[in-house]
Structure 1
């Protein structure tokens, strides 16, 4: 038994760095327990002025800071796991093993997950799409900045625009700059539409295979046909909430239809409001005080988020779920899904829901969160009080510009 090899099924997120979104490379573990690539930490701390905001050397995940820069040592166990994962991933690209090769017991692999090779290919395609989208967003921001700044400093390590900015300002007229910005914005829209379409298509065409047939085998379903999309059983109670601009944190920005909220690349100069959150959070305008309501949130474009409900009186400097008048489910960059209710955390597991459905039944005093795929799967349920109206509430971890949450149309 001492030499028994137990198959363990890992996803890239399990051994990933939330800063570079890749596998850990020279992993360093901070005193708080979170791990990142050493170079990613050094670059991040250097870009942010050693943490800034009075909290130097801050952890990107939990924001725990230290008075002095922690000494970064290699976590050899994590490095070994990452190396093994890389080798296994490379082997998936080789020819299949002979038929006589032993196959791990099916029970050791989580059910209803795509084959590792298929999952790896799909993940790589989606990651490339997201990286391209983020790159175009950065280019759009650069051109917009150049339009507002007629004179730029010499390029250097602290100049974010750098050489590209000098070339554009020195060789490009204002009219051409507008044309470049227009073209980039068109590319940005097309990339987002294409990425959204690919994710929707991937979700639609996934077909779950049944368990391995017994001796009395039965025919498999036609796998060439996509799984039918089922209407949500909550469709009769679906609402379409919109973000409230007065509560919007200055680190966030919303789309024109107030259906998409995004972490901004630089602080926004919104008019002052005592209702505005000091951290990257926002409420919706709709005050829910009676009846039954349901809405869905697409979380696939955000690395660390929380969605739920809160009263209008929630403290503007507190995090969602950490107050008695708010409740949420939260996905952490450390591959952990939790529920927060009455300032108490309940760990739900390590599976990340792509779309979260929220069911609020104020007649029964219940709040429930669902993972939405072809049908709703209950994640967490708790009791709520209807003594004060509740608003849909959102938190986006503000470290990575471009992270976004989308209020999704419910299937009918």
Structure 2
């Protein structure tokens, strides 16, 4: 009888974000599971604790008066390791299939000890390779210089003698070849040094950027002194989409316990502490919220002021969206998502598309169910297209929002549009 291990493997498609720590944005390293069920790098949790932020979960804000036990989630770690290996093999590309004996000889070898976890490690490896190339070219150049004086004297004598007989002597190409080779070597060295400077500059910028990101997260957690400016005015401007403009309101039944809304239900804010909302299966477990208004036909347009929020997602979703999932990662939700410079993307039915744009201060959302389109604009003096996708919802959709859960006081505002 075949054992359980003989069952065929079922392929599962994972995005890197499925295995990321939301504190450091990297693949989970020694994943520790808190009592609430959320996972983070053990080192990240210890950094937060050392900075005086207690043991509140960065995702759901559940807090514990005593340090919870940080035990390694071995199954999750194994999944992260498999994903890292698969990602490395995919980057390396296909290799020639070895013979049966060769394959058997390597079948019992352990996997590589170190697997690059990020582009940063690949850049650092490339930097080292370029440094070796620069050293090699300089060494060849020195060797050439030490050999050339005698060679130059011989070629110079031959050149003069040949010039008195015939200007088209075969000696002239030798002199030209020598000069050409030297010029090529100088150009190669110059290009390599330029690449080396750019790589070193990237490494310096990347390290500084990652350190600053962690510092910003740590500063944002503890006190109201680091909250974004709450005086950000709500958008109030004329729009070409004014005939279809609406002013939706946030739905309290779907509101995460990490969030709170204004009295007019048009501003949603990350709360510094969990809110005592009654439990409901309609309430999001992460810092997300839907609007009360549902649309199944026609054309609607609304605007969202994002200037008081560091990280956010804006889009639409059906009411039946899984309350434990992130916006855009399901087959019934669509959004654009800002998580910092170089991390602007669109998500449609679980698929990610990177976007190349600066942070939009005000986002305009056009839901055109007559033509099955969802369009996002950056709104300033005029609308600028950010992203457009098809939408085919089997049930009505609601305006949907996500506020990254590490920055209390961050807020999104639904603006009023003038005709």
- TM-score, structure 2 length as denominator? 0.50
Deviations 1:204-229 (A, max 9, x none): xxxxxxxxxxxxxxxxxxxxxxxxx9
- Which among 330, 348, 356 is matched to residue 341 of structure 1? 348
Does the alignment pair 1:288 with 2:412?
A: no
What are structure 2's unaligned runs of at least 5 residues? 1-21, 30-42, 63-67, 73-78, 82-119, 125-199, 210-215
Does the alignment pair 1:375 with 2:382?
A: yes
Deviations 1:291-327 (A, max 9, x none): 1100011111111111100001101111100000000
Does the alignment pair 1:392 with 2:399?
A: yes
Q: CA deviation at 1:387?
A: 2.8
Structure 2 CA distance for aligned equivalents of residues 41 and 274 of structure 1: 29
After the TM superposition, which residues 146-225 of structure 1 pair with which residues of structure 2 at under 5 Å, given as runs?
192-193=230-231, 195-196=232-233
Structure 1 CA distance for aligned equivalents of residues 207 and 337 of structure 2: 29
SS of the residue 2:224 aligns to: helix
Go from structure 1 to structure 2 and tell me whether the alpha carbon gap of 1:135 and 1:338 turns closer, same or farther (over 3 Å shift). same
Structure 2 CA distance for aligned equivalents of residues 399 and 370 of structure 1: 26
Deviations 1:316-358 (A, max 9, x none): 1111000000000001135321111121000011421111100
The equivalent residue for 1:275 is 282
Does the alignment pair 1:81 with 2:170?
A: no
Indicate the structure (1 or 2) with the bigger Cα radius of gyration.
2
Go from structure 1 to structure 2 and tell me whether the alpha carbon gap of 1:50 and 1:246 turns closer, same or farther (over 3 Å shift). closer
- Which among 363, 378, 385 is matched to residue 356 of structure 1? 363
Does the alignment pair 1:259 with 2:266?
A: yes
Does the alignment pair 1:244 with 2:244?
A: no
Name the structure, 1 or 2, with higher relative contact order (CA <8 Å, separation 6+): 2
Q: CA deviation at 1:286?
A: 0.1
Structure 1 CA distance for aligned equivalents of residues 366 and 69 of structure 2: 38
Structure 2 CA distance for aligned equivalents of residues 357 and 56 of structure 1: 43
Q: CA deviation at 1:395?
A: 0.6
Contact 1:293 1:360 in 2 (8 A): yes
Structure 1 CA distance for aligned equivalents of residues 71 and 334 of structure 2: 30
Structure 1 CA distance for aligned equivalents of residues 259 and 354 of structure 2: 27
The equivalent residue for 2:331 is 324
- TM-score, structure 1 length as denominator? 0.51
Does the alignment pair 1:405 with 2:395?
A: no
Instruction: Give the number of equivalent residue pairs.
Output: 247
The equivalent residue for 1:44 is 48
Contact 1:362 1:386 in 2 (8 A): no
Structure 2 CA distance for aligned equivalents of residues 248 and 29 of structure 1: 25
SS of the residue 2:384 aligns to: strand
Q: CA deviation at 1:84?
A: 10
Q: CA deviation at 1:410?
A: 1.9
Contact 1:336 1:350 in 2 (8 A): no
- Which among 189, 211, 224 is matched to residue 135 of structure 1? 224
Structure 2 CA distance for aligned equivalents of residues 363 and 379 of structure 1: 20
SS of the residue 1:81 aligns to: helix
The equivalent residue for 2:16 is none
Deviations 1:44-84 (A, max 9, x none): 243354978899699xxxxxx999xxxxxx99956733899
Structure 1 CA distance for aligned equivalents of residues 49 and 371 of structure 2: 48
Contact 2:28 2:80 in 1 (8 A): no
Structure 1 CA distance for aligned equivalents of residues 342 and 49 of structure 2: 23
Contact 2:315 2:333 in 1 (8 A): yes
After the TM superposition, which residues 103-118 of structure 1 pair with which residues of structure 2 at under 5 Å, given as runs?
none
SS of the residue 2:205 aligns to: helix
Structure 2 CA distance for aligned equivalents of residues 272 and 317 of structure 1: 14
